[in-house]
């Protein structure tokens, strides 16, 4: 079927995805194809999650059993049969971090999974960026890290809300900064009355983090 303008289409005409359709830019109506519209709109990839955090620095290792959804794990000592790709791992290799999306991996093999109970736990709402994980760095300090994106002028990050007041004398606060020690991540800082403190992300229910990577 030859390309037709919308005004030329008759009832019952099948659209094949290449017909010019009207698009308004700067008050001017132009005719373009659906594929071209995606080029006019500058898209971005996004990661959105709700974060909670409890306790201090507490590294742990498990070698079998179920995983906890939302916890960041790091693979170590994997074998040829090890397979965690069904529970959030982008691939199977030593040193790979991932946030668990399920509880039962395809195959443990002889692998260890290292994790820190003090690292933020993520309830992922949307993720079109890829593998992002969380680490415990210091009291009240945590990182959201990635091997996919680089924190540069095309990357933005928000943590909301940026403060929580429980009473006139108790102020809980969290901030989001570019990480000083990892250019592929952002640094989360939490405070109680201006002192670095753990367990702050939980106040108000959870903190929402959003990372956008623009094309």
Predicted confidence (pLDDT) per residue in 105-148, tens digit:
999 999 999 999 999 999 999 999 899 999 999 999 999 988 77
Closest Cα to residue 166, out of 203, 121, 134, 207? 203
Q: What is the DSSP letter of 24?
A: E
Q: Among 8-22, 44-58, 175-189, which is the least confidently predicted range?
A: 8-22
Measure CA 106 to chain center. 23
21, 122, 177 from 183: Cα distances, Å: 42, 21, 11
* 207-214: strand order across its sheet: 121-127, 44-52, 207-214, 155-160
Range with top average pLDDT, 1-10, 30-39, 120-129? 120-129
What's the pLDDT band for 82 if we cut at 50, 70, 90? very high
Within the chain, residue ranges assigned H as helices are 34-40
Does the pTM of the predicted model rise above 0.85? no
Say what the pLDDT of residue 20 is.
Answer: 57
Q: Report percent pLDDT > 70 for the chain.
A: 69
Nearest CA to 145 among 8, 136, 40, 11?
Answer: 136
């Amino acid at each position: 079927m030859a390309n037709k303008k919308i005004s030329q289409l008759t009832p019952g005409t099948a659209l094949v995805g290449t017909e010019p359709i009207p698009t308004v830019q700067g008050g001017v109506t132009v005719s373009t194809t659906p594929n071209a519209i995606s080029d006019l709109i500058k898209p971005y990839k996004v990661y959105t999650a709700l974060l909670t955090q409890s306790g201090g620095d507490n590294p742990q290792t498990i070698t079998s059993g179920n995983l906890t959804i939302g916890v960041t794990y790091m693979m170590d000592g994997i074998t040829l049969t090890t397979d965690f790709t069904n529970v959030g791992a982008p691939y199977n290799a030593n040193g790979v971090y991932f946030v668990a999306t399920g509880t039962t991996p395809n195959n443990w093999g002889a692998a260890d999974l290292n994790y820190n109970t003090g690292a933020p736990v993520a309830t992922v709402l949307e993720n079109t960026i890829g593998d992002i994980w969380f680490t415990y760095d210091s009291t009240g300090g945590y990182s959201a890290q990635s091997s996919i994106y680089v924190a540069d002028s095309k990357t933005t990050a928000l943590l909301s809300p940026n403060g929580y007041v429980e009473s006139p004398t108790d102020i809980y606060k969290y901030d989001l900064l570019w990480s000083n020690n990892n250019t592929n991540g952002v640094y989360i800082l939490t405070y109680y009355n201006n002192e670095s403190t753990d367990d702050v992300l939980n106040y108000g229910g959870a903190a929402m983090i959003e990372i956008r990577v623009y094309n």
